[in-house]
């Protein structure tokens, strides 16, 4: 299905979704949020897709936030629906069951930072800028930023960024644990491609087990989280890929995982 604001391309088992509104710094309007949600659901259902890369078009912004021009006429009820729709997109990404990698070349502000934080890995150019500037608009983050930033970087950093609303550079974002890796701008594409290829070659059911245990398990008490982990560990023993991985190690060859 063709979208107006999101482009889709496949390279082997790696699907790249690109938010494509560069003249508006890829701001997330209602239509774009709907298209992204659908595009991620399609990627989840397609067995040929093992990894998703999420990017922003142009060289200036990953995503510069929710679309402010749409907000001015919102009633509280409409704002509630918009917040829920944004949060639903972020949950769809976080619970996709396949690794999602954000490629961040420029601004990741407001909803853009929230979108990046819903992804499982974040690779940023050294020119990228992060922030939750909603306070400057008399607002608070509405797409999960208060929750995911607290979980990723701790309460101190979440309060600093949300209360003061200032931008931070990629190096600080990496120190805070918000970014997985920072690379020079001209190495961003190759670094993301390399990481995506590595994930595409890994055992998909084991990747899913890790995602479930870390993401769902972290929201539970430790006993429940450990039960999640044990369940995923045991399920791995029902897969051909586990036999392939352990067998290949013992035979000193490279494994070839099939997703079964
Ligand atoms: N919503 C709607 N439009 C946005 C936008 C947003 N979040 N961010 C940028 N744009 C639009 C601008 O209105 C402008 O459109 P125009 O050319 O039709 O006037 C275009 O994108 C380019 O942005 P501009 O502000 O001219 O670029 P800049 O280089 O001067 O500044 C930013 C870049 C990111 C610092 C600035 O655009 C900004 O502060 N954006 C809003 C960030 C924000 O508050 N996000 C949270 C929203 S809840």
Q: Write the pLDDT tens digit of every residue in 120-146.
A: 999 999 999 999 999 999 999 999 999
Using the predicted structure, report yes or no on whether residue 246 has a pLDDT greater than 90. yes
Q: 55, 17 in Cβ contact below 8 A? A: yes
Contacts of 155 (CB under 8 A, 6+ apart): none
For residues 184-189, average pLDDT = 98
- Average of per-residue pLDDT values in the chain: 97
| pLDDT value, residue 141 | 98
> Measured from the CB, is residue 82 less than 6 Å from ligand 1?
no
Determine the Cα–Cα distance for residues 97 and 143; give it in Å rounded to an integer: 20
> Measured from the CB, is residue 25 less than 6 Å from ligand 1?
yes
Give the atom of ligand 1 at the shortest distance from the alpha carbon of 61. Answer: 34
Instruction: From the candidates 114, 174, 216, 229, give the one annotated as an active-site residue.
Output: 114
Contacts of 25 (CB under 8 A, 6+ apart): 56, 58, 60, 61, 63, 64, 106, 107
Determine the Cα–Cα distance for residues 61 and 103; give it in Å rounded to an integer: 10
Å from CA of 25 to ligand 1 middle: 6
| pLDDT value, residue 2 | 86
Determine the Cα–Cα distance for residues 193 and 107; give it in Å rounded to an integer: 21
SS3 call for 129: strand
Residue nearest to atom 16 of ligand 1 (CA): 24
- Picking from 42, 49, 39, the residue whose alpha carbon sits closest to that of residue 98 is 49
- With 0-12 / 13-18 / 19 or more C-beta atoms within 10 angstroms meaning exposed / middle / buried, residue 138 is exposed
Answer whether 6-200 and 204-251 agree in fold. no
Query: Residue ranges per domain, the chain?
Result: 6-200, 204-251
pLDDT in tens, 96-117: 999 999 999 999 999 999 999 9
> Measured from the CB, is residue 21 less than 6 Å from ligand 1?
no
pTM beyond 0.85, yes or no: yes
> Measured from the CB, is residue 113 less than 6 Å from ligand 1?
no
Termini Cα distance of the chain: 28
Determine the Cα–Cα distance for residues 219 and 144; give it in Å rounded to an integer: 15
For residues 34-53, average pLDDT = 98
125 DSSP 8-state letter: E
Contacts of 73 (CB under 8 A, 6+ apart): none
The domain 204-251: what is its CATH number? Answer: 1.10.12.10
The domain 6-200: what is its CATH number? Answer: 3.90.226.10
Q: 48, 13 in Cβ contact below 8 A? A: yes
């Amino acid at each position: 299905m063709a979208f107006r604001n999101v482009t889709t391309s496949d390279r082997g088992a790696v699907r790249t979704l690109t938010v494509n509104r560069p003249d508006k710094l890829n701001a997330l309007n209602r239509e774009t949020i709907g298209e992204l949600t659908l595009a991620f659901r399609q990627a989840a259902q397609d067995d040929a897709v093992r990894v998703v890369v999420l990017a922003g078009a142009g060289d200036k912004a990953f995503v510069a936030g929710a679309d402010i021009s749409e907000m001015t006429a919102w009633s509280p009820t409409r704002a509630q629906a918009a917040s829920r729709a944004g949060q639903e997109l972020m949950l769809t990404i976080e619970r996709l069951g396949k690794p999602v990698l954000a490629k961040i070349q420029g601004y990741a502000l407001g909803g853009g930072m929230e979108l990046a934080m819903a992804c499982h890995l974040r690779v940023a150019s050294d020119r990228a800028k992060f922030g939750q500037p909603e306070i400057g608009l008399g607002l608070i983050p509405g797409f999960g930023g208060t929750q995911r930033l607290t979980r990723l970087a701790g309460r101190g950093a979440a309060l600093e960024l949300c209360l003061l609303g200032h931008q931070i550079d990629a190096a600080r974002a990496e120190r805070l644990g918000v970014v997985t890796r920072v690379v020079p701008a001209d190495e961003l594409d190759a670094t993301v491609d390399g990481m995506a290829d590595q994930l595409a070659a890994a055992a998909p059911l084991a990747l899913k087990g890790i995602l479930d245990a870390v993401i769902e398990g972290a929201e539970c008490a430790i006993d429940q989280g450990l039960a999640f982990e044990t369940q995923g560990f045991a399920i791995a023993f029902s897969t051909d890929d586990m036999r392939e991985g352990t067998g290949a190690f013992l035979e000193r060859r490279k494994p070839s995982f099939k997703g079964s």
